[in-house]
Every structure is written in structure tokens, then in C-alpha cells.
Structure 1
Amino acid sequence: MRPIVLALTAGLLSVPALAAPPPATAPAQTPAPPVKEVSPVTVYPATAAPKLVKSYPAAGQSLSAGILVLTVTFDQPMLSTGFDFGAAPGSPTLPCVKTPRLLDDKKTFVLLCTSEPGQAYNLTFNATPQGGFENVAEHRAEPATLAFKTTDGNGPNNIHEAMKAASLRDLDMPIEDTPNLPPEKPNPTGG
């Protein structure tokens, strides 16, 4: 190629023939659409309704009255947040703490109660139409009942004896201390 000569008012300008061609302009890129955040979703396979498969006391069992650690075990992993239990119509109420605790097997709930001598207790589980015990796929457990009797008042008189009677380990304690609570401040008014 030959040099290109351009005429300008101020003089001549020449461009050598071996000069590199001007860089090609990149095609215009459209900006990427903004990223949209999506909540994580866990999809669980369809499951059968959980069933109560084991309890302490066992159905129909007679035991000495006293402190009782009631256990109910389901056939599949359960959520720790829902429960529905109570006395069946006509049955005496079994005094228990408000909330059962789900053990590390994810199938067994424990509940601290106190039974009275000479009573026939009949408990219901998931007897109401909403809420209650559910598996990890949020499938509601089948309704169930548990009937047992108490004899004399010579049963466990502390929680450790009650846990031993229920064949539980120390780490299966039905109640847990709340960790790291700030110490209570004294009331300056004295009340």
C-alpha cells in the first residue's frame, strides 16, 4: 500500500502504509438484566402421614404414680414446632409442662408430667383439626390415643428417676435450661 497524504490548511499530513488499522470497535453489549433474588425452596417427596409407633408408658400399661417423662415416638422425622395432645373426653387431665421436646433422633418427643395414684389416663394426639405433630414435609400425623393406668403413689419422685424409668439418657432431658440469659437485675424499688 502507498502512504495516504491528507491536505490540511496548516500543512500536509502523511500516514505510513504499514500503520496498523484502527482497532475495530467492539459490538455494543446490552447490559445484563439485574439479578433477582429467589428464596430457597426445599421440596420434599410425598410422604405418608406419620404414625405413633411407640410410647412410654406403653398403651394399656399400669405403673406407679409420680413424676413421669412421657415419650411418644413416630415412624419418621418430625418438626419440633407443632404438637397437639390432651386428655380425651371423660379422662382426667395429666398435668404436664406446656411444650414437649423433640430428641436428637428427630422422631421422639419427651414431656415432663406428674401422674396421680389410681387414675386411668386417656390421652389424644392430633385430635383437633389443625396444627399438631407434623413430619419434616409438614404432613400432619395421624390422630392417636394412649391409655394407661396408675397404681399407688410409689413411682419416681424426681426427674432423674423418671428418666431412668422411661429408659432415657441424661441428654434426653425433657426440659432444657435457656442458655446465656442475662442475670436478673435486682429491683431497686424492692417489689
Structure 2
Amino acid sequence: MRASALALILCAVAGPVLAQATKPAEPPTPVSPVTVMPPTQKPKVVATWPAAGETVAPGVLVLKVVFDQQMTPRDFAYGLGTGGDKLDCLKTPRLLNDNKTYVLLCTTLPGKTYAVALNPGAAGGPAFSNLAENRAEPDTLTFTTGTGEPVTKLRDAIKAAGLGNLDMPVEEAPDQARPTKAP
């Protein structure tokens, strides 16, 4: 009797385990990767070209804004600041390889005062933001242009902004595959 009772107990205990072993495995559940960022301070502008209140040559200008921490490449917002003329610039600034410096290609007229608002929009809109998506405080950069000889070459504007040859304010579009002609 003991042997049959022992066999019955073993079947009761091992039955679910054996049933699970023969049951087909469920496919894994996909999970999106999650990045957890530590708390960060709001990014601060630590340098600009031109500097606030500075007078620069008119013409081609590479506007440069440097933050104190790494920024998100596609997050930015700039516009017309109060007390100045609207700066004529490309639509999209470029974040340089240091991940802290944005550059933007613009043109200026002689004898003007320009005011550029950084993060001028509402709290939910686009903004200069760090990697943790912490928005920089709104700020305004105001500068003037003189009436002297204008800057007419991009390389001179890059040099004036203190940038190197690799710090182009615009990115070239990738080469598109050109269709070849049949012989």
C-alpha cells in the first residue's frame, strides 16, 4: 500500500511539472527599451556669436549658441525677439559634434539691431532641450550690425564665429543614387 500511495503522491506532484514541460512555449512579449535619465538642471546658454550687445559686420552670419550641457539634436525653437529686427536665417539650426553648440546660417543688413528669441513659445511646444528633455529657459540675444564692409563668404562667417572647417552651419543632403543610362 505504501508503494501505491507513494506513486500517487509523485504523480500528483510531478503531473503539473511534466504537463508544463510538454506544453509549447509562449512567444516572448516585446518590450520597448526604456532610458532612465537622472534629474538634470535646465540647460543654460554659456556663449553666443555674436555676443549679446556686440556690433558685427553685416552680410553672411553664422549665429552660434552654446549650452552648458549636451542637447537634443532635433529640439530647438527660435524666433523674433522684442526690440529688434527679424533675422533672416535658414529654418533649421545644426547641432555640432560637441552636442552643445547650435549653429544657424543667417544674413544681416547694415545698421540694424537684431533680437533673436530662444525658446519663445509655449511650455508644450518645441524648445532647446537637453538629453533628459529638460527645456532651456527662454532667452533673447540682441546684437547690431555696423555699416562697414559686409561678410560675403561663408568661410569668413565661420571664422568670425570661432568655428573650424568641420563646423558647417548646414548639412549637405546625402547623394541620391543616380539612375544609370542603359548602353
Q: TM-score range by the shorter chain?
A: 0.7 to 0.9
Q: Deviations over 1:98-139 (max 9, x none)?
A: 100000000000000001100111111001112111111111
Aligned to 1:79: 72
**Cross-structure match for 2:53:** 60
Alignment of 1:126 with 2:114, yes or no, is: no
Per the alignment, residue 18 of structure 2 pairs with 28
> Greater shift after overlay, 110-119 or 148-157?
148-157
Residue 173 of structure 1 aligns with which residue? 168
In structure 2, relative to structure 1, the CA distance for the partners of 1:79 and 1:160 (3 Å cut) is same
- 1:155 and 2:150 correspond: yes
Of Structure 1 and Structure 2, which has the larger fraction of its residues in helix?
Answer: 2
Which of 91, 101, 104 is matched with 2:84 structurally?
Answer: 91
1:102 aligns with 2:95: yes
How many residue pairs get aligned? The number is 161
2:8 paired with 1:38: no
Matched-pair contact (CA < 8 Å) for 1:66–1:153: no
**Aligned counterpart in structure 2 of residue 139 of structure 1, from 134, 138, 144:** 134
CA RMSD of aligned residues (A): 2.0
Gaps of 5+ in 1: 1-24, 186-191
CA distance in 2, matches of 1:116, 1:184: 42
Structure 2: state its 5+ residue gaps.
Answer: 1-13
Larger Rg: 1
Letter in 1 for 2:160: A
CA distance in 2, matches of 1:69, 1:183: 32
Corresponding residue SS for 1:161: helix
Secondary structure of the structure 2 residue equivalent to 1:170: coil
Q: Percent identity among equivalent residues?
A: 45
